[in-house]
């Protein structure tokens, strides 16, 4: 039997804004098994963010149960939720959310600072392991302001990986990146998934969603459809065929010359 | 322990990235702690100086002054001050005869010396002239005051009885008028009258109050009364006790002799007063203490203002770093972790301000010492007090901003721009 990482049973979320009640989620059922690569798609206002916050243990549902790694999260207090976030969830955000005054190493170290108990390996070693796995070796002393968008997102991914979480939650991870860099980031996720990580991706780009095994469509707080991708797009293959920025610039110039010639 | 270290690291990192702001925030605490410590130290220094001076005057000496209200020993120094204000002051005079009577009748006194204190008089030697304070006294003045001769002799008993025109000069006078020449035997004019210099005193050093004993001339009291100033009174009578532990008994004896001498009826107030350096010391110390506490209190208000400054900046910092707080929370920081992070920062801010403030106090003390000669006494007590006070300020004024930070909702914080 496949091991369930996420088990969501009939959860709803109601926000009270002044005297209005807003139903952000209306009975969501969702299972994610270990090692799965799932995308959730939906327009703004569909409840994507709310679902993501609940899965990421930043919020709790109004009704229903949420089990992460066979632990019921629905009724935990703030402190317990913080511990779960620290140990079991790795966040990757659209805007990277790195601390600007901190070097890559210091940013990646943050979750370790808040970890209880002994670490399996010395800190430095753990940090270097994840730095290598996202391909950032040699850039570890740089601050976010000294890095490109792709590099910043790699730091964020490394930070998400440091505590070996049960699930990686990526919220529009390519939203702020050009398409080639975005594809490079997708290649990293692909690689992590191949090595056994469970990844939950939130996006509104179908091209990005098609890299996963399964797409869930969310609208008005309910899951309206589900699509199994038989042959997911391989980011690595796409990259091979994708012209680099330099290629495209030279091509543009060729075109210009061509136009001149005519 | 690991957490404390992490918190310190985070706090220093954030202060370091905003050095000017951190310094300006600390300035309130620096000035507050600096002025509190400086004021207390200057007060302590002044007290030490007064004590030292009064002790050099001798604790075994009592002074009898004319026409002052009687200070009451039991009431303490504050009582003394109140009495001085509330009791009627009886007119009275002291005369040479009073000193003679005391010398003859008192059993608990050694030397009794009448003094006609420092009247500024014009003195001239050859073509130089100037104003110097002239004191009329008797032969025992030297012993009672503990002064020593450098050259020649002090006034003698026969000088006093013969109204001799002899003068003993202080060291400053000698330097000013004679330079390197030995002044003994030279003739100077005091208010136009010739005086032979019979002796030169060794340097005494400043006594801190009234006239400078080095810049004075001493002549027989009889000469001063009859030939220079035309008076039959004396300004005070100084007497040396046989036993300094018998201050109260000696004072009582002096009073009873003088009451008979002045024919004061029982029930009437004394027309003179008896005081000792010890009494004066107590009064001076208490006045200085009140002054120190008052000034220190005013300075402490700036500490409070500094604390409010810290609170203000910490609130700004929390708002500014809302997103950072959201990030930290999403990565597993608990409310307590955020609280400690901001609390550590404000405590470091105020503690660092306190340390710099102590440096500032040392600077003020050095300036005071350099420019006034009074050396402030920096003791451990005000330093420890100021440091713990400033740490407490960091804690008290840091707790509200830190609590606000800790309570921030992670989802909203992450969205904060």
Q: Where do the domains of chain B lie?
A: 2-53+281-415, 63-275
Q: Which residue has the tokens 């916050």?
A: A53
From the list A86, A98, A99, the residue facing B332 with the nearest CB is A86
pLDDT band at A22 (very low <50, low <70, confident <90, very high): confident
Is the pLDDT confidence value at A19 over 60? yes
Encoding tokens for residue B74? 């039991």
HSE, CB side, 13 Å, CA atoms: give it for residue B54.
20
Encoding tokens for residue A97? 């959310």
Is the pLDDT confidence value at A158 over 70? yes
pLDDT at B315: 94
pLDDT at B83: 43
pLDDT band at B79 (very low <50, low <70, confident <90, very high): very low
Name the residue with higher pLDDT: A38 or A20.
A38
Mutation target to probe the A interface, by most A beta carbons within 10 A, among B10, B331, B409 is B331
Is the pLDDT confidence value at B298 over 90? no
- Rounded mean pLDDT of B170-181? 87
From the list A83, A91, A113, the residue facing B6 with the nearest CB is A113
Segment A211-251, tens digit of pLDDT: 999 999 999 999 999 999 999 998 888 888 877 767 777 77
Is the pLDDT confidence value at A138 over 70? yes
Q: What is the mean pLDDT of chain A?
A: 90
Segment B179-238, tens digit of pLDDT: 888 889 889 999 889 999 999 998 877 554 556 788 889 999 999 999 888 888 898 898
Residues of A in contact with B337 (CB under 8 A): 114
Tell me whether B323 touches chain A (CB under 8 Å): yes
Bridge-partner residues for A200, per DSSP?
A38, A169
CA neighbor of B328 nearest in space, from A213, A107, A65, A141: A107
Tell me whether B21 touches chain A (CB under 8 Å): no
Is the pLDDT confidence value at B99 over 50? yes
Q: How far apart are CA B236 and CA B257, in angstroms?
A: 16
The secondary element (H helix, E strand) that includes residue A31 is strand A20-33
pLDDT band at B126 (very low <50, low <70, confident <90, very high): confident
Give B325-339 as a DSSP string: HHHHHHTT--HHHHH
The secondary element (H helix, E strand) that includes residue A216 is strand A214-219
Is the pLDDT confidence value at B42 over 60? yes
pLDDT at B207: 55
What is the DSSP-derived secondary structure letter of residue A2? P
Give A40-104 as a DSSP string: EE--TTSSHHHHHHHHTTSS--SEEEEEETTEE-TT--HHHHHHHHHHHEEEE-TT----TTS-H
pLDDT at B52: 78
Closest Cα in chain B, distance from residue A242 (Å): 34
Name the residue with higher pLDDT: B211 or B325.
B325
Lowest mean pLDDT among B137-141, B145-149, B394-398: B145-149
Name the residue with higher pLDDT: B326 or B72.
B326
pLDDT at B291: 87
Is the pLDDT confidence value at A161 over 90? yes
CA nearest to B328 within chain A = A110
B290 CB neighbour count, 10 Å cutoff? 12
Is the pLDDT confidence value at B54 over 90? no
With beta carbons less than 8 A apart as the criterion, state whether B394 and B387 touch.
no
ipTM: 0.91
Going by DSSP bridges, is the β-strand pair B149-152/B187-190 parallel, antiparallel, or unpaired? unpaired
Going by DSSP bridges, is the β-strand pair A63-68/A4-17 parallel, antiparallel, or unpaired? antiparallel
Lowest mean pLDDT among A43-57, A112-126, A241-255, B66-80: B66-80
Tell me whether A56 touches chain B (CB under 8 Å): yes
With beta carbons less than 8 A apart as the criterion, state whether A97 and A177 touch.
no
- Rounded mean pLDDT of B69-82? 41
Q: Do B331 and A110 touch (CB under 8 A)?
A: yes
CA neighbor of A234 nearest in space, from A180, A174, A179, A183: A183
Tell me whether B330 touches chain A (CB under 8 Å): yes
Lowest mean pLDDT among B278-292, B297-311, B381-395: B278-292
From the list A97, A114, A115, the residue facing B414 with the nearest CB is A97
Residues in chain B: 417
pLDDT band at A118 (very low <50, low <70, confident <90, very high): confident
Is the pLDDT confidence value at B58 over 70? no
Residues of A in contact with B17 (CB under 8 A): 101
Q: Which residue has the tokens 């790795």?
A: A90
With beta carbons less than 8 A apart as the criterion, state whether A34 and A84 touch.
no
Q: Do B332 and A82 touch (CB under 8 A)?
A: yes
From the list A83, A86, A97, the residue facing B327 with the nearest CB is A97
Name the residue with higher pLDDT: B56 or B321.
B321
- Rounded mean pLDDT of B375-383? 86
Share of chain B above pLDDT 90, in %: 30
Is the pLDDT confidence value at B84 over 50? no
Tell me whether B411 touches chain A (CB under 8 Å): yes
B104 CB neighbour count, 10 Å cutoff? 9
- Rounded mean pLDDT of A134-150? 92
Tell me whether A109 touches chain B (CB under 8 Å): no
Q: What is the mean pLDDT of chain B?
A: 85
Residues of A in contact with B328 (CB under 8 A): 110, 114
Strand order in the sheet with A222-228: A89-92, A167-171, A199-203, A37-41, A214-219, A222-228
pLDDT at B209: 52
Interface A:B, Cβ pairs < 8 A: 57
pLDDT at A262: 61
Residues of A in contact with B414 (CB under 8 A): 58, 93, 97
pLDDT band at B71 (very low <50, low <70, confident <90, very high): very low
What is the DSSP-derived secondary structure letter of residue A145? G
- As a 3-state breakdown, chain A gives helix, strand, coil percent values, each rounded to 5, of 40, 25, 35
Q: Do B331 and A78 touch (CB under 8 A)?
A: no
Is the pLDDT confidence value at A260 over 70? no
Segment A172-225, tens digit of pLDDT: 999 889 988 999 999 999 999 999 999 999 998 899 999 999 999 999 999 999
pLDDT at B271: 84
C-alpha distance across the termini of chain A, in Å: 66
Q: Do B332 and A115 touch (CB under 8 A)?
A: yes
Tell me whether B9 touches chain A (CB under 8 Å): no
Closest Cα in chain B, distance from residue A206 (Å): 24
Share of chain B above pLDDT 70, in %: 91
Residues of B in contact with A159 (CB under 8 A): 331
Is the pLDDT confidence value at B69 over 70? no
Residues of A in contact with B333 (CB under 8 A): 82, 114
Please report the sign of the dihedral spanned by the C-alpha atoms of residue B127, residue B132, residue B136, residue B139: negative
């Amino acid at each position: 039997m496949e091991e369930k990482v996420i088990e969501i049973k009939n959860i709803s979320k109601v926000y009270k804004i002044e005297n209005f009640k807003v139903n952000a989620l209306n009975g969501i059922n969702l299972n994610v098994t270990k090692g799965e690569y799932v995308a959730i798609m939906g327009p703004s206002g569909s409840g994507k963010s709310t679902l993501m916050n609940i899965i990421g243990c930043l919020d709790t549902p109004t009704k229903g149960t949420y089990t992460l790694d066979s632990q019921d999260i629905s009724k935990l207090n703030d402190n317990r939720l913080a511990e779960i976030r620290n140990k079991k969830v790795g966040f990757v955000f659209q805007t990277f959310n790195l601390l600007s005054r901190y070097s890559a190493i210091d940013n990646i170290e943050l979750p370790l600072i808040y970890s209880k108990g002994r670490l399996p390996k010395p800190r430095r070693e753990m940090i270097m392991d994840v730095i290598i796995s996202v391909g950032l070796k040699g850039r570890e002393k740089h601050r976010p302001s000294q890095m490109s968008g792709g590099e910043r997102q790699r730091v964020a991914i490394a930070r998400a990986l440091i505590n070996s979480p049960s699930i990686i939650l990526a919220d529009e991870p390519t939203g702020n990146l050009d398409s080639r860099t975005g594809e490079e980031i997708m290649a990293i996720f692909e690689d992590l998934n191949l090595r056994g990580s469970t990844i939950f991706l939130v996006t509104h780009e179908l091209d990005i969603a098609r890299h996963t095994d399964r797409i869930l469509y969310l609208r008005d707080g309910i899951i309206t459809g589900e699509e199994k991708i038989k042959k997911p797009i391989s980011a690595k293959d796409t990259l091979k065929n994708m012209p680099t920025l330099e290629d495209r610039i030279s091509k543009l110039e060729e075109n210009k010359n061509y136009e001149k010639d005519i | 322990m690991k957490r404390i270290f992490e918190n310190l690291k985070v706090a220093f990192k954030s202060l370091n990235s905003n050095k000017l702001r951190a310094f300006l925030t600390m300035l309130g605490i620096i000035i507050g702690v600096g002025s509190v410590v400086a004021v207390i130290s200057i007060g302590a220094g002044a007290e030490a100086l007064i004590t030292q001076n009064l002790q050099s005057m001798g604790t075994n000496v009592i002074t009898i002054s004319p026409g002052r209200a009687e200070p009451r020993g039991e009431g303490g120094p504050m009582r003394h001050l109140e009495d001085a204000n509330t009791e009627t002051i009886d007119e009275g005079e002291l005369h040479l005869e009073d000193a003679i009577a005391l010398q003859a009748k008192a059993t608990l006194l050694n030397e009794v010396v009448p003094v006609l204190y420092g009247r500024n008089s014009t003195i001239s030697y050859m073509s130089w002239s100037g104003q110097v304070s002239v004191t009329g006294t008797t032969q025992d003045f030297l012993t009672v005051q503990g002064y020593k001769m450098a050259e020649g002799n002090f006034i003698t008993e026969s000088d006093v009885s013969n109204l001799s025109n002899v003068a003993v000069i202080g060291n400053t006078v000698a330097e000013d008028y004679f330079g390197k020449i030995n002044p003994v035997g030279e003739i100077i004019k005091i208010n136009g009258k010739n005086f032979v210099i019979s002796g030169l005193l060794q340097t005494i050093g400043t006594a801190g109050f009234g006239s400078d004993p080095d810049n004075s001339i001493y002549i027989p009291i009889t000469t001063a009364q009859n030939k220079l100033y035309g008076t039959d009174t004396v300004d005070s009578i100084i007497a040396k006790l046989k036993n300094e532990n018998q201050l109260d008994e000696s004072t009582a004896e002096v009073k009873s002799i003088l009451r008979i001498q002045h024919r004061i009826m029982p029930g009437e107030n004394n027309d003179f007063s008896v005081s000792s350096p010890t009494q004066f010391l107590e009064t001076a110390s208490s006045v200085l203490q009140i002054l120190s506490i008052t000034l220190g209190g005013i300075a402490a208000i700036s500490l409070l203002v500094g604390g409010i400054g810290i609170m203000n900046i910490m609130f700004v910092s929390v708002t500014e770093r809302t997103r950072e707080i959201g990030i930290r929370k999403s990565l597993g920081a608990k409310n307590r972790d955020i609280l400690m992070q901001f609390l550590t920062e404000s405590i470091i801010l105020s503690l660092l301000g306190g340390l710099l403030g102590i440096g500032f106090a040392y600077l003020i003390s050095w300036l005071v010492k350099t420019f006034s000669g009074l050396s402030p006494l920096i003791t451990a007590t005000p330093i420890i007090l100021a440091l713990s006070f400033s740490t407490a300020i960091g804690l008290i004024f840091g707790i509200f901003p830190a609590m606000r930070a800790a309570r921030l909702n992670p989802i909203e914080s992450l969205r904060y721009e």
